[in-house]
Structure formats: structure tokens, C-alpha cells
Amino acid sequence: MSRETTRDNIIALDPHSDDTPKRNMGAPITFDNLDAIRINRSATERRIATLAGRRSVKKEWQAAWLLKAISCIDLTTLAGDDTPGRVERLCAKARHPVRSDILEALGMNQAGITTGAVCVYHEMVPIAVEALKGSGIPVAAVSTGFPAGLSPFITRLEEIKASVEAGANEIDIVISRRHVLLEDWSALHDEIADFREACGEAHLKTILATGELGSLTSVAKASMVCMHAGADFIKTSTGMEGVNATLPVSLVMTRCIRDYYQRTGQQVGFKPAGGIGDAKTALAYLILIKEELGDDWLSPHLFRFGASRLLNDIERQLEHFVTGHYSATHRHPMG
């Protein structure tokens, strides 16, 4: 394997020279137009079924794509027993997500590879901010009564403001699912616009909880409303629903992003979350993004995985590529 080849492969996946994330300013929306949105589930599933056969990523190209996947991970801990020590260890892993001997064998030890962000509850934001100081890795905070989103509205707004004040660069909010189930699109739009205002300069990632919305058509309509209201990212799930990220749902959401971009010229990011725990699945999502949105979206500024277990498997796959052997999971600790 050529070290230069692997380095060239990973660089080729990210054409951006400008590292400054751009905001989605939103756009006017006519709610009556949402009635025209119809999603054919069978056609969606047929399109997803073709992904595995259309592209085969092997050898050094697979290693490069897996390194790209690492750079797009929101490394997450959202447990009731989180402690400052656990968050600090997670942040250390975010700074150095792959063992140095593996990176050296890949010729990537000077590439500065980190995860895309670290995602925590509000209480742990100051801990993460301090642990990541100087790294350039943003801190994301889940907010607005995560995961159910049923706390009082004023409380949800104040939670956003408190996390931004504590240093969070990104806010992952949950929408009120009832607005989608009742098709009260105006209420959903106003809610997201208020959350967007409360975020100030922090980026807003809206979690749709797609497994609770009833249909792919509802997912598409909710995606469009959130983007028009100013969401910088649309995200599939909290990771705590019965059904979390799936490729059919992701296809619908990415095509909504593409349609919004074609209509407004504004790029909105996409974040699948929940249940993405192995390298093979991560590759399928990267291929989907490349085919549906193009290379511009293969960047942590426009694509993220919401995951905690994924990094562990990717690191094992990279060691297998380097050595030809799979190692035990404990050789790749999260912290």
C-alpha cells in the first residue's frame, strides 16, 4: 500500500478549502404546497437496494472512506450516569480517534484527523468545552427536553440559550412530533424559527424522530418545513426511539435537502443517528450521500453520524487493513 495513495484518497473526498460552516438563513414557505409531496415507499426501498451493488469500496479506498467517516462522527455520550471523567475521556478520544501506530502505517499520522464533534447533555457542556479547548472540535448539546421534547416551551428556549452561553457550538433540538402528526405545519415552522433565534451563532440541528412520524411522506414534509424555518442540519433520530436511522428515511431526507438547495441555493446538513454501529453501514451512508448530494456534502460541515459505537468498529477495520488481522475490541477503547 502506498501512503501517498491513501492520503490522496482521503483528501479527494473533501474538496473544500474553506472550513467556515455556512448558515441556512431559511426561506419563505407556502404550506399549501406541502400537499403535493408524496413519497413512494416501494420506489424508495428499491433505490436503497441498489446501493450495495452500484459501488464497491475496497482496499486503500475503503481505508480512506473510513477515515472520512471518522471525521464526520458526532462522538456522543447521553447516559444518565455520565460523569466529568467519562466526558473528558470521550473528548480525548475525539482528539485522537485512531491509534497512532495505525495512522502511521496508513501514512496519515500528520493529517490531524479528529471526530466531527462531541455531543453531550447540557450539564456536561462546560466539561467538554474545556477538554476540547484549542482542538477546533465543536461541542454539540442536545436540547429542548431531549429526547421527548415535551417540557414547557419557555423551558426549551432557555435550555438552548443556557447551552450556547456555556460554550456549545451546535444545538441538537427535538421537534414536537404532535405538530407533524396533526399536520400543523405552521406551528412546526414557528417552533423551529424560535429555536433558531435562541441559538444565536450556534448551529441548529433539528431531530425529526422519524420513527415516530408515521410515514415517509410526513418525514419529507417535516424536513422541508424545518429547512425553510432555518435549520442548519436535519437529523433522523434521537437514538432512543424504537426505530432510528434507516437508509430509506435517509434517502427521503437527502432528496429534500437537494430540492431545498436547488430552490434556494442554501446547503443544509444531514445527520443520521441511532443504530449506526459498524463500518459497513457507515460506508453505505457515505455512498448514499455521494450519489444523492455529491462531494460537497462529504464534509463534517454538512454531514455527521450521530454515534458512539461506530468509531470502535472503524478503528478495528483500519487495523485489519494494516495488519491483516482483527483485534479485540478492548484494544480500541473509547476512553
In whole angstroms, give the CA distance from residue 45 to residue 247. 8
> Quick check: is 172 catalytic?
yes
Judge contact between 195 and 223, C-beta under 8 A: no
Catalytic residue among 68, 232, 271, 313: 271
Please give the DSSP secondary-structure letter assigned to residue 116.
Answer: S
> Quick check: is 235 catalytic?
yes
Secondary structure (DSSP) of 195-226: HHHHHTTSEEEEE--GGGSSSHHHHHHHHHHH
Four-residue CA torsion sign, 149, 155, 161, 165: negative
Catalytic residue among 93, 232, 235, 313: 235
Catalytic residue among 68, 74, 93, 172: 172
Q: Is the peptide bond before 138 cis (omega within 30 degrees of 0)?
A: no
In whole angstroms, give the CA distance from residue 1 to residue 68. 18
Give Cα separations from 302 to 19, 216, 266 (angstroms).
11, 22, 11
Residues annotated catalytic, as ranges: 172, 235, 271
